Amino acid sequence: MIVIVGGGVTGLSTAFWLAREGHPVTVIEKGIVGWEASGRNGGGCTHPYSPLFREEQRLWPMMDELLGHPTEWRPHRIKVALDDGQLDRLWKSTRLATDQGFVADEMDRAQLRDMVPWVGENAVGGVHWRYGGHANPQRTSQAYAWAVERHGGRILQHTAVRGIRVQGGRAVAVDTSVGEIGCDAVVLAAGPHSAALAAPLGHRVPVAPARVEMIVTEPVPPIAIGGVDGNGLYGRQTLRGNLAYGGGPHEWIDLDGEATPRAVNSPVVASLARRLNEMFPRLGHVRVIRSWGGIVENTPDGRPILDRLDDPANVVVASMSSVGFGLSPATGRALAQLVLQGHCDFADLSQLKLSRFGNLPLDWRSRQGWDALPA
Amino acid sequence: MTIADPTSIAGKTFPLRGAFAHVVVGAGEAGIAAARRSAAAGEATLLVDEHPLDPGLIGLDIPYLFGTRAGSAVQNPARMEERVAAARPDLLAAMEEGVEVALGVAAWGGFVKGQSSRALPKPLLGLADGAAAWLVAFDRLTIATGARDVVLPFEGWTLPGVMGARGFDAALRLYAAFAGRRIAVLGGGALADGVVAAARHAGLDVAAHIKEAVPLRILGREEVTGIAWQSGATWPEAACDTVVMAVDTVPVVDLADVLGCAIAWDPARGGFAPVLDAAGRSSHAVVQVVGDAAGTAPMARARWHEVALASEEALVCACEEVSCGDLRALRPPRYLDAAGPDAGLSALGVLNQDQVKRLTRAGMGACQGRRCREAVHALLSRDGPAPLASHRVPLRPLPLCVLAALEEDAVLRADWTGWFGIAAQWLPHWEPAPVDAEYIGGRLSPEDVVK
């Protein structure tokens, strides 16, 4: 039995790939699957700085079929720049992909307007990424969960993990609010909560939780490539037509026990509206109808931890450092390989080991300026 | 001494248009009384009320089910403001006693310190009129937002001319703009009796008063032309231009919910209602809830929902076109043309309205779920009440340009980044992260951060 702690996209995808190959899996989720940051995010599927990028691009077109439920995945992205600085930075990130053989086209304002009728005279240009894409986070998270169950895996919602029992250098059981579950391997994919679960095993998983937020408008007529963003915002037009965008200041927070704090919104939602209206000046009349908050975690270098520990040797630790949704098809497959064979055969994860933080000072959060504000 | 992450909310400010000892939201009887009391005690008091509403909101049935039976007079804001003031004579007295009154101003958000939100020095309220959004600070807040209509998804309910008791009352008495002549009333309690009496007083015909929950159809093609209901083996009909759903109302708990006030299921108070102490204080010491927002009459809709939701075709969520059958099958939205899980709703285990919302889109539309919230909740509560579906800021739909007009801290703008601002996050992860002292720091300046 492989026990996966955490029913977010990373844990669910890992469970999916394992269950699909016939391995017995149990996912333990303290609330509802995909409920936290996994189900509420920008939905982007374009991460060229990741060693999992190529696999991300390969897998997304197959995910609806693999999972048996629609993910709303759509290919390509369009990036909008409102000044030359934005355009320069846009090309920097574009080159990360084009250096790997992916194709991107420069767009002048007229071409941009053809594809994205909402932009105005203030746009200086853009780039059409003929790679990447976007999908619906909640629908995808749920699709993973149902696919796990279809392949015989078990998902325990509303179940908390209290600890992991180790014997002879191996995790042998996971202690939960519904009793102990014996295991042959454990995957810790509990977002910011992984730190507290790993500590009794003698490992420090350095992650700092933060609250982030997004806004959503009423639907506007869908355009062909809805994955449009820029101007310091990430986001997309959903297939239904809503505009969902985030960005701007986050708030570093502290956890209080096993619950995830209520992810409220702040007046930053107005700044998101301002940036969105700057990017799409023709949509000033479109109404904002909701906003989301979510809790994510970051490692000190902002990069994932995807590692199988030496001791206990059957425990895999996973944190995507606040960027997990789009990569999840590939991450889950990589983690399944770490569980089964100890290494990933399709991506170089050598830089993503937990040991890189071995010498991290204890007060690393303070040194980063990442402390929670005083109560 | 470390410097706080400049891309975080630390050190950012939120410019205010004012600070008040006491802010009251909702200028009904209870709200006006609360505002007058604090003004009399010498407190700086602001009383806001969203009436007269933006005509666009009336079209979206916010906050009541107006059913497009308000006449063109509501398009004239100045006249409507006079009407609102005339309908509530105590408002004038409140102003004379020093209450600052703002009509046509909606409270769209409330922001208080909490475990994940510590950046606010004082509790803030988000306000907006048709032109701009702004913030005010408050020491004490009174929520007097009243009650709103419960919609029963009987066939034909989306036709122009179907309205709720609160919508009818607002159109008739607050705006003096009710555009119907002949009404049918649903409901067997005091709410419905009040609608019948008000209608007769206004010289309207009451064509039918259906007191018991029975299967019924609202008739009409372009708008309401009549109503038919089951009576034994027959289906009598009555001609009418308006159907008023006066079965039940619910406390408006949206603002209390976003502020984090505890809210509990309490059928004796109309459904979900704020948890209050004897003095009317919510679980937030500085937030008080009064009037219908604190609780309405005991819930009277259960049987009616049962009857209305018996039909698989019943259109529960009009904004997103989700039927009762779609909900039971947990069917993805129609644009995906896909089936739900074989087990339907049972595939989810314990039912949660927010989760069902995200999967079916019921309650996700432009009316912000006001028209379907209770029906969906009833449908998910067969094994006991499902938890409260969350309310999200902005509590009223706000045009991008209105929300964008909120005054912004220059530092917040200068330090803006798309996502955190951790240099190494955006460099190839197959190469080692920079190891200089800043790496832990490898923070880039905002200009260098790409996403």
- Largest alpha-carbon pair distance within chain B? 84
Whether residue A301 and residue B416 make contact (CB cut-off 8 A), yes or no, is no
Give the number of domains in chain B. 2
Give B-chain residues touching A39 at CB under 8 angstroms.
Answer: 358
Range of the domain at B450: 417-451
Specify the pLDDT at position B393: 98
Average confidence score pLDDT of chain A: 96
**β-strand partners of A155:** A27
Give B-chain residues touching A301 at CB under 8 angstroms.
Answer: 422, 424-425, 433, 439-440, 442
Specify the pLDDT at position B2: 66
Indicate if B374 and B426 belong to the same structural domain: no
pLDDT digits (tens, 9 = 90+) for A57-72: 999 999 999 999 999 9
Whether residue B440 and residue A351 make contact (CB cut-off 8 A), yes or no, is no
Indicate if B363 and B428 belong to the same structural domain: no
Whether residue A51 and residue B392 make contact (CB cut-off 8 A), yes or no, is no
Interface check B111 vs A, CB under 8 A: yes
Specify the pLDDT at position B449: 38
- Check residue A109 and report its DSSP letter: H
Q: Which residue has the tokens 């100045």?
A: B78
Q: How are beta strands A185-188 and A315-319 bridged, if at all?
A: parallel
Calculate the CA dihedral of residues B2, B3, B8, B10 and round it to 10 degrees: 100
Q: Scanning every residue of chain B, which has its alpha carbon at the shortest distance from the alpha carbon of A360?
A: B440
Is B36 inside any structural domain? Answer: no
Whether residue A233 and residue B439 make contact (CB cut-off 8 A), yes or no, is no
pTM assigned to the model: 0.96
Give A-chain residues touching B365 at CB under 8 angstroms.
Answer: 218, 289
Q: How are beta strands B106-111 and B124-128 bridged, if at all?
A: antiparallel
d(CA A74, CA A72): 6
Give B-chain residues touching A240 at CB under 8 angstroms.
Answer: 320, 333, 335, 361
Q: How are beta strands A2-5 and A185-188 bridged, if at all?
A: parallel
Is A40 within 8 Å of A139 (Cβ atoms)? no
Q: Identify the weakest region by mean pLDDT among A212-216, A254-258, B5-9, B337-341.
A: A254-258
- CA distances to A158, A327, B247 from A59, rounded to whole Å, are 30, 10, 52
Band of the pLDDT at A302, cuts 50, 70, 90? very high
Is B357 inside any structural domain? Answer: yes
d(CA B246, CA B188): 8
Is B321 inside any structural domain? Answer: yes
Indicate if B308 and B356 belong to the same structural domain: yes
- Check residue B123 and report its DSSP letter: -
Query: Which of B116, B335, B355 has its CB closest to that of A263?
Result: B116
Q: Is the N-terminal amide bond of B394 cis, ω within 30° of 0?
A: yes
Per-residue pLDDT of chain B (451 residues; tens, 9 = 90+): 468 899 999 999 999 999 999 999 999 999 999 999 999 999 999 999 999 999 999 999 999 999 998 888 888 888 899 999 999 989 999 999 999 999 999 999 999 998 889 999 899 999 999 999 999 999 999 999 999 999 999 999 999 999 999 999 999 999 999 999 999 999 999 999 999 999 999 999 999 999 999 999 999 999 999 999 999 999 999 999 999 999 999 999 999 999 999 999 999 999 999 999 998 999 999 999 999 999 999 999 999 999 999 999 999 999 999 999 999 999 999 999 999 999 999 999 889 999 999 999 999 999 999 999 999 999 999 889 999 999 999 999 999 999 999 999 999 999 999 999 888 898 899 998 765 534 334 443 334 333 3
Which CATH homologous superfamily contains domain A2-69+137-205+301-368?
FAD/NAD(P)-binding domain (3.50.50.60)
Q: Scanning every residue of chain B, which has its alpha carbon at the shortest distance from the alpha carbon of A286?
A: B399
- Check residue B368 and report its DSSP letter: T
The predicted complex's ipTM stands at: 0.95
Give A-chain residues touching B109 at CB under 8 angstroms.
Answer: 265, 267, 269
Q: Where are the domains of chain A?
A: 2-69+137-205+301-368, 76-130+208-298
Q: For residues A27-44, give the mean pLDDT.
A: 94
Q: For residues A22-46, give the mean pLDDT.
A: 95
Specify the pLDDT at position B450: 36
Look at residue B296 and give its three-state secondary structure. Answer: coil
H helix or E strand, kind and range, residue B208 = strand B205-210
Is A42 within 8 Å of A243 (Cβ atoms)? no
CA proximity to B236, closest of B217, B211, B262: B217
pLDDT digits (tens, 9 = 90+) for A325-360: 999 999 999 999 999 999 999 999 999 999 998 888
Specify the pLDDT at position B121: 87
Q: Which residue has the tokens 């300026």?
A: A369
Pick one of 3.30.70.330, 3.40.50.300, 3.30.9.10, 3.40.50.10090 as the CATH number of A76-130+208-298. Answer: 3.30.9.10
d(CA A352, CA A3): 22
A2-69+137-205+301-368 and A76-130+208-298 have identical folds: no
Is B415 within 8 Å of B6 (Cβ atoms)? yes
Is B356 inside any structural domain? Answer: yes
Specify the pLDDT at position B441: 41
